[in-house]
Structure 1
């Protein structure tokens, strides 16, 4: 899993590949809940590049994208939004995998 370093990098990932952005924060308990199983999710979907976005470092980006709660997921392919799983609710591995499976 990549860790986003800049908004420019966000635009590069967004426009050049099938990518899933995971919006998270160190202090977020629900984000820590999904950490143990996210490597397995990443492994199940090798067609996607996964990029972790620290909400606190990229607050303006999150506001622009309408990311209100974390953890949340936003998927793009070649600059086109494929889908979003955005809420403040805790997410299970099954819910995340279902979201990704239904993107195309």
Structure 2
């Protein structure tokens, strides 16, 4: 499943109320490391269909970034049943992204 763009308006429905685990990719268009990580996140989203992967542009949805204390990007945050269960900041290789998305 391809990563879905999420905003403040639909964050609760898409992430917090999701019936399966969700990984949120916090990013910005001006962020070089984000551009490096984004295609890896997209690949993993397609390869791990039992986890929902969404993206939040921190410039367009600043309230979400503030609420979840995202101070550095790229930042991956994993949610299960509406609760944060993990966080990864910075660029990581694909095998680590896969493990993070799967909750390993």
TM-score band, normalised by shorter chain: 0.7 to 0.9
- 3-state SS, counterpart of residue 66 of structure 1: coil
TM-score (norm 2): 0.82
Structure 2 partner of 1:3: 5
May I ask how many residue pairs the two structures share in their alignment?
100
Contact conserved, 2:41 with 2:97, CA < 8 A, in 1?
no
- Give the Cα separation in 2 of the matches to 1:37 and 1:62: 21
Residues 1:70 and 2:66 aligned together:
no
Structure 2 partner of 1:46: 49
- 3-state SS, counterpart of residue 78 of structure 2: strand
Q: Structure 1: state its 5+ residue gaps.
A: none
Contact conserved, 1:3 with 1:52, CA < 8 A, in 2?
yes
TM-score (norm 1): 0.82
Q: Structure 2: state its 5+ residue gaps.
A: none
- 3-state SS, counterpart of residue 46 of structure 1: coil
Contact conserved, 1:30 with 1:91, CA < 8 A, in 2?
no
Contact conserved, 1:15 with 1:77, CA < 8 A, in 2?
no
